[in-house]
Structure 1
Amino acid sequence: MSPIILMYPSIFSLHFQFVHARPESMGSRRGRPQQHYPPPPPPAAAAEGPRPGRPFPQPQGGRGAPSPQPRDDAAAGTGRGRAARGAGRGAARGAGPSSAPATWPLGRLAPDLRQAMEEPSPPAPAGPSEPRPPQTAQPVPVPATAEAPIPASSKAIRFPVRPGKGSAGTRCLVKANHFIAHLPDKDLHHYDVSITPEVTSRVVNRAVINELVNLHRAAYLGGRLPAYDGRKSLYTAGPLPFASKEFQITLLDDDNGSGSASQRRQRNFKVVIKFAARADLHRLGMFLAGRHAEAPQEALQVLDIVLRELPSARYAPFGRSFFSPDLGRRQPLGDGLESWRGFYQSIRPTQMGLSLNIDMSATAFIEPLPVIDYAAQLLRSDIHSRPLSDAERVKIKKALRGVKVEVTHRGNMRRKYRISGLTTQATRELTFPVDEGGTVKSVVQYFQEIYGFAIQHTYLPCLQVGNQQRPNYLPMEVCKIVEGQRYSKRLNQNQIRALLDETCQYPRDRERDITQMVKHNAYQEDPYAKEFGIKISDRLASVDARILPAPRLKYNETGREKDCLPRVGQWNMMNKKMVNGGKVRSWMCVNFARNVPDKLARDFCHQLAQMCQDSGMDFALESVLPPMSARPDQVERALKARYHEAMNILGPQRRELDLLIGILPDNNGSLYGDLKRVCEIDLGIVSQCCCTKQVFKLNKQIYANIALKINVKVGGRNTVLVDALSRRIPLVTDRPTIIFGADVTHPHPGEDSSPSIAAVVASQDWPEVTRYAGLVSAQAHRQELIEDLYKVRQDPQKGPVSSGMIRELLISFKKSTGEKPQRIIFYRDGVSEGQFYQVLLFELNAIRKACASLEANYQPQVTFIVVQKRHHTRLFAHNHNDKNSMDRSGNILPGTVVDTKICHPTEFDFYLCSHAGIKGTSRPAHYHVLWDENNFTADGLQTLTNNLCYTYARCTRSVSIVPPAYYAHLAAFRARFYMEPESSDSGSMASGPGGRGPQSGSSASRGTRAPGGAAVKPLPALKDNVKNVMFYC
């Protein structure tokens, strides 16, 4: 694909010609801002590695001969297992000899190391965090010209063990929504289940097995109560009295809704149950005790299935959550939707043994309304007395496709159907053949003659519940939506807001509801839990935690306050000036809000300009042109016309337009995205959008927050860490270090052919690590692996040419700082636990290849950390009456970190709540280290991560996830605006043959394949004027 570079425009032609000194002048908007604070003293000589400013490190004694160009390998980039790493660490601490070498390959996996890597790792030390000996990295030959296949095996890699527990910060006690689950001592058996004829519905499969158990439990199942996964697996606590057995089961189909057994259709099934294996709980116990490296997933899956059996029968299951109108009141969400309350449940391996993670949940369901009433709500219009327009019919068709309805015109016989479409003709125009002789009858006539039902709304279309070859029509007025159907498509903003309001709970209330839900579920009375010997505690786990101190922040020396110490995750800009103010010499405003008069727009812009100037920016108080009002439906025409007017004034002076201020309605639909696309793709200017409510408030705090965004968009910096300037951040400020953030955003449900967007950002200043460049790229639909991290394309003249996001960002770092990175810290967002191995194998391999393509033997030490926010662990204050242990919202204090009890039994992970709560219950971020060559201590990585959360550019608050990951999400979200206006009505982003046009600044080499085999369209190129700034903030 063709990534768009977001900062430092000329890096594509830049070669790695290294210099020994930093550039002296970095004061322009397109370079590094001028430093106004005193430069830090030079660091002491490093104990290891080359000095900053030297060329890429060449092989030293003991590291082998120079490597040739990288070679592709199926397992490239996987070359270190936990055994190898653990052995090296253990030897340094006086451990016994180990067969694992102290070094490992980084580009591919050497065959002689595979066995060593698969050996079990030693348990994590239980003592406090302590420094580890440095690990050396040995580059491995991997040709840069080879394409990088996705490695299929995860056996060659082990995640890092925990380097002890952290000790920094103030100790405290918190509660977590984890409930201890006592490990059963039962002998678990796994059986394969085959149901013929095969059905795809888990509901039907469960009905078949439930009937089998009811009929044959005593006679043929030895009295066992099995747990069933709804598909192919059945589990028992002990053996069944047979190895294989066939059963004949008959179900009475209740789709017609009749209470009479004589009128219900019978369905016959053949069920074969065959012994498959025993589930080894001994290995699970060894894993929980830290004496086994890998979690026995099958044993965990069995326990999870057992605890899901009863809730699956009682409630509507979706994923790991269960919903029911009996678990809380329904709340209307608008447009025919309502919210149902429920709970999330998952069995987790932790340091305290097995725990059951329980959390409150809510989701959207379709209201069980008559179809005509649902359509009226969806259209927000009465349709009982008028026909539908074509646009209305299409909207209803999209909303109802796949929805199950029941008929209401046959008394108690409420047969159910699934909607496949909507007819284009009105009901009064529809006819169908009734016999082979060609006799035709109208739908209106048929319903009158057969059911005695007179259709009233004959001008409305019919629901199509058949197919094109065998159509089956149902008038809308005889159908009602079946209850319990989850809405899986995209919610609108009003629905999202209503759902968030429904799920938003104060911590005290959420903890109470979780505790009540555990009591309501009565796990001690669950027949399946009893059968398998599982016992669940009814008390939340008490967990040891620590509160990390906030970092001191540096501001400009010209302000009254030159630095500050945040309090409870917050501070403000009073008496402070940005550490590096950007320049805005020429700007203009376009007003798209009809209720904002021109005078108010002028006053707002003047006040904003004054605030930018007072905050330390070089900001002109007068705009190039007075604010202009424009229609929201003519955004492109208005922006281009106004831009050309401004350039007619600025052009003769050889000046550029630095900033556009856009005033938008509060509910602006696609206007925001259209404005950003036109400014950044067509015109090449950065923009700042302001909503109407901000304009009317005329609030200084609002002006100050907007000024922060403008400053970084034009190349400035708002604040930096004092410890960064004084070189007191371990493993960051002693040697040139680049920090990456990466994320992939996927299309909304229902957009089956839209591509996913990958974004990677990287710090461009050192040692401050505050300014981030970024790249974005479109890739295959719902592809989580970032495909454009490293690419090789064939140039007709030059041959193989290396490119990709990592490579370009490394070059950009060198251009900006005058240094080459000697360490890489990579924060990866959006990865689920099931994807850990695959993502690490593929993306670490790409990082290795990108580095090797820049200079022979260049392999900086990498730490790869996954950031997770979509989990269900919540932390609560141990005493809700102790005001000193909570913030104003009742949440735990910012900086609270947990690496005990609820964390992984052996691996390096932790929960960090780095932000103060605003509304509802705070969700801590979960950080899991998948690779660590920099040998971070627990305190070192936790403190670095927490401190970085105070450097987020858009506000004077610490944020919930580390800023590089946050910026990557923003960049990916912004890039979707560039492509959606070009999509067709069906949402397809695929192009036909020859669809890939040239793109300036592209580092892609081949098209990513979308569903159906067509190439995903590349993202349009950004203009040079916006590539070098954090315009996505």
Structure 2
Amino acid sequence: MSGRRGSYGHRGGGSGRRGGAGGDFKVVVTASAPPSVSSTLTPSAASPKSTAPVTELQRLSLQPPTAPKHLAAPPASSKAITHPTRPGYGIVGTKCVVRANHLLVELIDRDLHHYDVSVTPEVVSRGVNRAILRELMAVNLSDFNGRTPAYDGRKGLYAAGPLAFTSKEFVVRLINRDERDLKESEFKVAIKLASKTDMSHLKEFLNSKVRDVPHETIQVLDAVLRESPSEKCTVVERSFFAADFGGKNDIGNGVECWKGFYQSLRPTQMGMSLNIATAFYHPISVLVFVVKFLNLGDPSRAAPRPLSDSDLIKLKKVLRGVKVRVTHGEGKCYKISSVTTVPTNQLLFTTEGKLKMSVVQYFYEKYKMKLRFASWPALQSGNESKPIFLPMECCMIVEGQRYTKKLSEKQVTAMLKEACKRPTERERSIEEIAHINDYKNDELAKEFGIDVDNKLTYIDARVLPPPVLKYHDSGKERTIRPRVGQWNMINAKMFSGATVSFWACVNFSSLNEQMASRFCQELVGMCRNKGMAMNPTPVFPTWSRHPKQIEKTLVEAHHACNAERKFLQLLIIILPDVRGSYVRPAEASTKMQSTAGGQNMVLEDAINRRIPLLTDTPTIIFGADVTHPQPGEDSSPSIASIVASMDWPAVTIYRGLVSAQQHREEIIQDCTGMISFSVRLLGGASVVLDDAEMGPVHLCNRTIYLLLLSLWYKRDTTHASLRLILPKQTGVAISFLVGTAVDTKICHPLEFDFYLCSHAGIQGTSRPAHYHVLYDENRFTADAFQTLTNNLCYTYARCTRSVSIVPPAFYAHLAAFRARYYAEGEAGYDCSNSTGTAVRKGAASVRPLPAISPAVKNVMFFC
């Protein structure tokens, strides 16, 4: 299920991001009740119903767990749900050595003290809070016993020993030059001892002697290691950005990208990785920004045209909250609250002498400035009762402000170009960042007993073998074993071809009707050749229409088919493509097949019932996700989705359910109903969900032998990256091999997690997925679970490539992404729920998403 870093239903932190198949994912895998585990198990215990030979995977799955006895998981009925311990380490696959972007940390005992900080009046900015504490410590040296505390910019102050007081109040006078009035500000700062942090608890945890994570100790050490980068860089959540890390690059429309790195201290590892580039407002004149953002050309060559209403709406969204510095007077800073609805030359304000004056007249009389763009609106700061009007041409955007709005396709392409670096380039960048931060000589880190190794970590890994894929027996190739995460099905036929009787094509591109029709015929021919039963004749000949007539044309197409009583199963729409790319019929046929209800291929081990637990008894695999609105949208609903496999034992066809819920709500509100409905579809079993126990699936009816409290696993938005070290060329690093699995050294000291690189990166350095098993009554071994996860990544229906995360999670994300278009397509749409019921007791009333058409609800329409 999609949570956000950590256990189900808890936020630690999108979308998400959210966001890409972005964001974090948990997938529910359900199977039969776990077999009894004893010291000796015969191969026949793997599948009492199967007479097929026992595979290596089956044998491995029945090995008893090797977790320490004193850390055994609590009974299923316990309210204190804990993650399962690691059942041993994987051995399947070809051994190799990889280098990870992790710097290992050694700790020396220190008498750590945690103090609470309270600043009055309250300050939101971490930067201002840090400035206040710096000034406080500089003026009151004796109160700190010669120590240099670490401060998290909020409530936490940490010292490597006691201060000279347990509780004390200070008065700090600070000139904050980021504020527009430049006046001296006075703050009251109260510091009080909160607790003493025991380092021995962390050592016992790292030595596998205790299960509970010493979060407070880790928080202290993490704050210490973030102190130095925070002074040098622009901080965005857990990432640091500065010009020193590779410069800045213009990505168009007044936006530039900066490079940076992500830093996080975790148990057994110091995870420091180079983050992908992120976007910032270009520190240019607001006037130039507006021209670039609205693509107005060069206004200096002609008189500027008035801005339209749609231009104003765009500007209000993109400029709200942005800090600007005026170019006149003392160069004060202001935060933009809005953009005026009338031109600057129509704006009047009241002077201190209670006289009405125009903004244009004011600037001419006081600053001798004749405003050239007076026909454009002005920026507005302050509040509605006392607004401050700022002409655009007199304002500069302050540097270092993150651009959180949705990027255009052109901007995304430019960002990817900057972010996609080959392994050697990326590794060099990480080493440069480590050198710039100089962790080894960080005085604060030394004071707290933290010793960071500046060299990247070498780790033993394994490359898991790819699964055998089964296609239809009538093809030249009945089975295919992929190589390097990809394969060609040109000589194979789809395992189960879909039937498409009624279809049509509408062309909105620059292709003429003859070319569009030829493309459709090639596509139909490819589908039929690959095993689909597709009618060669469309309901009506290809229509060509203008791109601005999309909605009107689709309505006409719908009516035309209904008049013939030929209800469309498939509508092919050819859109104009600004990138100039071409979709080949072979590529399109695989997507059409999945959306029409067929199966491209299946895992050979699945249909031969050779996947332990998954194929022993009827099983459903669930995938779930919650996606949130893009940054800056403060009222749109979050979209939850659950997909469930419907074709056991193949588990390749998924039915999707979607639900809109309260804005940025992390927990799936309609989870019970959505899962219950999916189970009833498979065969009538009833389900009861207990949210207090992480939403485990309990079955009251064993007609379908679904798993009792199955296992959950999630995919982190990990910042880890792995590089393969070639044994015959010492020191040479390339991107990982497909199937590379890591479950040692950089993983959790106790719990069942692993990194898996299941896909071949198209460009740049690919990142592995981080899977963490949250609950498991099946007693999977490390090899069985890692192999199952890797094999599932080859069943994605949209392409003949393995993918980076398990398809159920991918499909859930696609379903939620598609559903957002349904929500945003209705004017004034608020939050809603798929069943039309209340989201939860006490929540605001909501209305449902548009219903999914019966014609597509049982197929993978979201794919």
**What TM-score, normalized to structure 2?**
0.88
Contact 1:738–1:821 (Cα < 8 Å) also in 2:
no
CA distance in 2, matches of 1:884, 1:644: 65
Residue range with higher mean Cα deviation, 915-924 or 358-367: 358-367
After TM superposition, give the deviation of residue 858 of structure 1 in Å: 8.2
Following superposition, the deviation at residue 524 of structure 1 comes to 1.7
The Cα of 1:841 is off from its aligned counterpart by: 5.0
Equivalence map 1:589-668=2 (5 Å): 589-593=505-509, 595-649=510-564, 651=565, 656-667=567-578
The answer as to 2:845 corresponding to 1:1015 is yes
Question: How far 1:391 moved relative to its partner?
Answer: 2.4
Which residue pairs with 1:812 in the alignment?
681
Find the counterpart in structure 2 of residue 31 from structure 1.
none
Q: 1:269 aligns with which of 169, 187, 203?
A: 187
1:916 aligns with 2:760: yes
Match of 1:864 among 704, 711, 714: 711
Match of 2:140 in 1: 216
Relative to structure 1, is the Cα distance of residues 720 and 334 closer, same or farther in structure 2, using a 3 angstrom cutoff?
same
Distance 1:162 1:209 in 2: 43
* Within-5 A mapping of 1:187-336: 187-217=111-141, 219-255=142-178, 265-336=183-254
Matches within 5 A, 1:935-954: 935-954=779-798
1:104 is aligned to 2:76: yes
Gaps of 5+ in 1: 1-43, 53-88, 115-155, 258-262, 668-690, 696-701, 791-803, 825-838, 997-1001
1:1024 equivalenced with 2:858 (yes/no): no
Asked if 1 retains the 8 angstrom alpha-carbon contact of 2:836 and 2:846, the reply is no
- Change in Cα spacing, 1:607 to 1:532, as seen in structure 2 (3 Å) is same
* Structure 1 contact 869–924 (Cα < 8 Å) conserved: no
Q: 1:762 aligns with which of 636, 644, 652?
A: 644
Deviation of 1:416 (Å)? 0.7
Asked if residue 478 in structure 1 is aligned to residue 360 in structure 2, the reply is no
Q: Give the Å deviation of 1:272.
A: 2.0
Q: Distance in 1 between matches of 2:314 and 2:75?
A: 61
1:395 lines up with 2:277 in the alignment: no
The answer as to whether partners of 1:789 and 1:847 remain within 8 angstroms in 2 is no
**In the superposition, relative to structure 1, how do residues 924 and 821 fare at CA in structure 2: closer, same or farther (>3 Å)?**
farther
> Counterpart of 2:588 in structure 1: which amino acid?
I
Following TM superposition, by how much is the alpha carbon of 1:843 offset from its aligned partner in structure 2, in angstroms?
7.4
Matched with 2:695 is 845
Structure 1 match to 2:413: 497
Question: Which residue identity does 2:804 align to in structure 1?
Answer: S
Q: Structure 1 residue aligned with 2:778, among 923, 934, 939?
A: 934
Letter of the 1:395 counterpart:
K
**Residues 585 and 431 (structure 1), Cα distance of their counterparts in 2 relative to 1, 3 Å cut:** closer
Q: Secondary structure at the match of 2:203?
A: helix
Q: SS where residue 694 of structure 1 aligns?
A: coil
Distance (Å, rounded) in 1 between the aligned partners of 2:706 and 2:793: 28
Matched, 1:965 2:812: no
Question: In the alignment, which residue of structure 1 is the partner of 2:429?
Answer: 513
Give me the TM-score of the superposition, normalised by structure 1: 0.74
CA offset digits 1:614-652 (Å, max 9, x no partner): 111112222232111122232232223223333444x3x
Structure 2 Cα separation of the partners of residues 1027 and 813 of structure 1:
15
* Residue number in structure 1 paired with 2:598: 716
Distance 1:692 1:483, change over 3 A: closer
Q: What corresponds to 1:19 in structure 2?
A: none
- When residues 229 and 470 of structure 1 are mapped into structure 2, their CA distance, relative to the original with a 3 A threshold, is same
State the secondary structure of the residue aligned to 2:683: helix
When residues 470 and 646 of structure 1 are mapped into structure 2, their CA distance, relative to the original with a 3 A threshold, is: closer
Given candidates 817, 833, 838, the residue that maps to 1:1006 is 838
Is the 2:594–2:859 Cα contact (8 Å) retained in structure 1? yes
In structure 2, C-alpha distance between the alignment counterparts of 1:806 and 1:51, rounded to whole Å: 27
> What code does the residue aligned with 2:596 have?
V
Change in CA separation of 1:101 and 1:187 when aligned onto 2, cut-off 3 Å: closer
Q: Secondary structure of 1:234's match? A: strand
Structure 2: distance between partners of 1:883 and 1:313: 37
- Tell me the CA shift for residue 51 of structure 1: 7.7
Q: Cα gap change, 1:666/1:395 in structure 2, threshold over 3 Å: closer, same or farther? A: same
Q: For 1:50-80, what per-residue CA distance to the aligned partner results, in whole angstroms no more than 9, with x for missing partners?
A: 989xxxxxxxxxxxxxxxxxxxxxxxxxxxx
How far off its partner does 1:915 sit? 0.9
Matching of residues 42-53 of structure 1 within 5 Å:
none
- Residue deviations 1:869-911 (CA, integer Å, cap 9, x gap): 411011111239759998xxx4211111111001100000111
* Number of equivalent positions: 806
Equivalents in 2 of 1:610, 1:253: separation in Å? 70
Shift of 1:585: 2.5
One-letter amino acid matched to 1:221: F
Q: Distance in 2 between matches of 1:738 and 1:759?
A: 16
Q: Say if 2:340 and 2:378, in contact at 8 Å, map to a contact too.
A: yes
Please say if residues 47 and 612 of structure 2, whose CA atoms lie closer than 8 Å, have aligned partners that are also in contact: no
Contact 2:325–2:331 (CA under 8 A) maintained in structure 1: yes
Separation in 2 of the partners of 1:972 and 1:104?
A: 31
**Alpha-carbon distance in 2 for matches of 1:191, 1:95:** 36
**CA distance in structure 2 between the aligned counterparts of 1:883 and 1:556, rounded to whole angstroms:** 45
* 1:376 lines up with 2:291 in the alignment: yes
Partner SS state of residue 465, structure 1:
strand
Matched, 1:414 2:331: yes
8 Å contact from structure 1 (residues 369, 480) kept in 2: yes
Partner residue in 1 for 2:365: 449
User: Which position in structure 1 is the counterpart of 2:53?
Assistant: none
For the residue of structure 2 that corresponds to 1:609, the secondary structure is helix
Rounded to whole Å, the distance in 1 between the matches of 2:218 and 2:802 is 36
Q: Name the amino acid aligned to 2:187.
A: F
2:310 match: secondary structure: helix
The AA in structure 2 aligned to 1:1023 is S
Q: 1:578-615 CA deviation, whole Å, 9 max, x = no partner?
A: 1111112232111111x100110111111111111111
- What do residues 716-760 of structure 1 show as CA deviations (whole Å, max 9, x unaligned)? 111111111221111111222211111111111111111111111
Q: Distance in 1 between matches of 2:552 and 2:446?
A: 70
What do residues 745-800 of structure 1 show as CA deviations (whole Å, max 9, x unaligned)? 1111111111111111111112211111121111111112111111xxxxxxxxxx
Task: Indicate if the aligned counterparts of 2:66 and 2:88 stay in contact, CA closer than 8 A.
Answer: no
Q: Distance in 1 between matches of 2:182 and 2:567?
A: 77
Q: Tell whether the 8 Å contact from 1:596 to 1:692 is kept in structure 2 after alignment.
A: no
SS of 2:815's partner is: helix
Instruction: Check conservation: 2:660, 2:831, Cα contact below 8 A.
Output: no
Q: Is the 8 A contact 2:593 2:600 kept in 1?
A: yes
Contact 2:713 2:774 in 1 (8 A): yes
Q: 3-state SS of the aligned residue for 1:729? A: coil
Q: Distance in 2 between matches of 1:714 and 1:327?
A: 48
CA distance in 2, matches of 1:307, 1:805: 44
On the 8 A contact 1:550/1:566 being kept in 2, the answer is yes
How is 1:860-899 mapped onto 2 (pairs within 5 angstroms)? 860-879=707-726, 890-899=734-743
**Whole-angstrom CA distance in 2 between matches of 1:329 and 1:518:** 16
CA separation of 1:487 and 1:220: change in aligned 2, threshold 3 A: same
**Counterparts of 2:647 and 2:361 in 1: how far apart (Å)?**
77
Does the CA-based 8 Å contact 1:339-1:499 persist in structure 2?
A: yes
Distance in structure 1 (CA, Å) of the matches to 2:553 and 2:422: 45
Residue 310 of structure 1: CA displacement? 1.0
- Is the 1:181–1:356 Cα contact (8 Å) retained in structure 2? no
User: Does structure 2 conserve the Cα–Cα contact (< 8 Å) formed by 1:867 and 1:961?
Assistant: no
CA RMSD of aligned residues (A): 3.0
Q: Which residue pairs with 1:683 in the alignment?
A: none
Query: Which SS does the other structure have where 1:641 is aligned?
Result: helix
Letter in 2 for 1:567: R
| Residue 431 of structure 1, aligned match among 348, 351, 361 | 348
Q: How many Å apart are 1:492 and its aligned residue? A: 1.7
